[in-house]
Amino acid sequence: MGLFQRKGSENDESSEDKKEKGGWRRPANTAFKQQRLKAWQPILTPKTVLPTFFIIGIIFGPIGGLLIWGSSLVSEMTFDYTDCETLTPSSSNSSLQYVEIPSSKYSYHLSTSTSQKNAQPTPPVYAFLNNSANSGDFDVFNQQQCIIQFDVVADLSASIFLYYKLTNFFQNHRRYVKSLDSDQLRGKGGSASDLNTGDCKPLGSLNDKSIYPCGLIANSLFNDTYSNPILLNPSNFDEATNVTYSFSSENIAWPGESKKYVSTPIGNGYNSVDDIVPPPNWMKRFPNGYTRDNIPNLAADEHFQNWMRTAGLPTFTKLYGRNDQDTMQKGRYMITVGLNFPVIPYKGTKSIVISTVSWIGGKNPFLGWAYVAAAALFVLLAVAGTARHLIKPRRLGDMSLLSWNR
C-alpha cells in the first residue's frame, strides 16, 4: 500500500535514474578525453637557459644590423614649411623675398651608397606669395603659395616618392576614426536623418541635405597642393633652362582601395545633385555646391583614399606622388605649395618629404635598432647568468635559497 511505503523509495529510484542519465554524459575513457596524454614540461636549468639567451642574441644582432643597413640605403629629405605663411607676403613672382629655413626645420638623410653623402647642401629657402589681392583668374587653391627652393646633392635613382607629413594631428581619435559611412561611400546612399543619427554625426547633413562624403575624416581632407619640382640649374646645358621632375598621383593608394568608393553618387544612392552637398571644408573647392559636371570621383581620387586610411599615430606621412622611371638629377629645385590646410591653430606642423626606397621600404631604422637592443639585452643576461652560475652555482633541486622554505 502506498500509505505504508517508505519515503526514501521514490527518491532512491529517481537517484538511480539520475546516475544512469549522468553516465550517458560521461566522457569516454580515452587518454585524450580524460586528459592523460603524455606531456613534456621542460626543466629550466642554467645549462639550457644560458645557451638559449646566447643563441637569441647571436641571431638578433645580425638581423638588426641588416635592417639598419637596409634603412641606410634610403635617401630622405624633409622640409618643414609651417611658418611660411607667417612671412612677409610678396605680391608677385618677381618680388619674392626668400628667407632661409631654420636648420631645425629641415633634414637630409642621404644613402650610404651616395657618393655625396657628406656633401653640405646649401640651406633651403622659402618665400610667401599672396595672390589674393591680384587681379586675374587664380586657382582658388593657389591664392596663397609657399615657394620652396632646396638642393638635391646627388642623383637619386627611381623610384622617388613625394610625401606630406603632419604632426600633432590625431587621426587615431576614436570618434574621428569611426566618423564615416561606408554604405554611402559604396553607393548605397543615406538620408539626412539617417546620417545625422549614425557615425557621421555631427557632419551628416547640412540644410536638410545629405553631406557627401559625410563625417569628420572627409571634412578634414588635406588640401595643400604641390607642384612638380623644377630643376633650376640643369647640368646639361643643351636642355631647357628649367627641367621639371614629374610626380604622378596614380598608384599611390593601396590596391583595392578604389573598390570602397563609387565614381559618382548620382544613380548610386542619390537621384540628383540636389540631394547632396559638399562637406563644409570643401566649399572652397565647390563654392556653388555640386553640379552634374563638377562632382568628386572618389573611386579615382587616390589622395582622398590615402587620407581616409587613418593613421595610428599623431605624426604621420601620406604619399602624394611618385616617379618610378626617372632619376632625380643633382641640382637646385623649386617647388610651389598651395597653402590651404591650417596647422598652426592646433600647434601642428606640415612638411614635404622626398624619399627613395630600398628592399626594406622607406627609411625607418627603429626596427633594426630594436633588434640590436634586444640582442644586447639577451647577451648581457646570458653573461651575467653565466658569471653567477660559475661563481656561486646552485645544485639542481636545491630549495634552501627560497625564503618560504626557511
For 329-343, the pLDDT digits (tens) are: 989 999 999 999 999
Strand-pair category, 276-277 with 209-211: parallel
pLDDT tens track for 367-399: 999 999 999 999 999 999 999 888 888 776 655
Percent of the chain with pLDDT over 90: 53
User: Do the Cβ atoms of 214 and 268 come closer than 8 Å?
Assistant: no
Q: Give the pLDDT confidence score for residue 133 in this predicted structure.
A: 66
Confidence of residue 1 (pLDDT cuts 50, 70, 90): very low
Question: In 3-state terms, what secondary structure has residue 373?
Answer: helix
- Residues 226-246 have a mean pLDDT of 79
41 compared with 378, residue with greater pLDDT: 378
- Residues 72-89 have a mean pLDDT of 92
pLDDT tens track for 177-232: 999 999 999 999 888 888 988 899 889 988 889 999 999 999 999 999 999 999 98
pLDDT tens track for 81-90: 999 999 998 8
Look up residue 318 and give its three cell numbers: 601620406
Look up residue 278 and give its three cell numbers: 559638399
Average pLDDT, the chain: 86
Question: In 3-state terms, what secondary structure has residue 304?
Answer: helix
328 pLDDT higher than 60: yes
Look up residue 17 and give its three cell numbers: 535514474
* Packing angle of the helix pair 366-391, 46-72 (nearest 10 deg): 160
pLDDT tens track for 265-311: 998 888 888 899 999 999 888 988 898 888 999 999 999 999 999 99
Question: In 3-state terms, what secondary structure has residue 100?
Answer: strand
User: Do the Cβ atoms of 156 and 230 come closer than 8 Å?
Assistant: no
